[in-house]
Amino acid sequence: MRASMIIKGRVQGVGYRNFIRINAQRLGIKGIVRNRGDGSVEVFAECRDALHARQFADAIAKGVSSNAEVSSLEFFEEGGTNYKGPWKDYHGSFIIDYRKHE
């Protein structure tokens, strides 16, 4: 099951992408995370099933990462409206894409 997410709030410059990566690795999720030009963070996640994806989304929505404050998390399942697949190869792991996307 694949999902993409857009997280808004104070999520850039506070270690939030690393927090997401740590949670993904803990849960055995593959994918990628990056900052967006509008101040949000974008995630692509490859999970076992929908429950696994929601567990990951719930964990990262709490935003307990240094000074991060999550105001919203939009969740999109593969095949649904606004779903976005991976924009870069993540080589079967979970990586941080350090290039900012507009």
Rounded Cα distance, 68 and 64, in Å = 7
17 as an active site residue: the answer is yes
54 as an active site residue: the answer is no
Q: Which of 2, 17, 21, 34 is catalytic?
A: 17
Q: Which of 21, 23, 34, 35 is catalytic?
A: 35
Catalytic residues: 17, 35
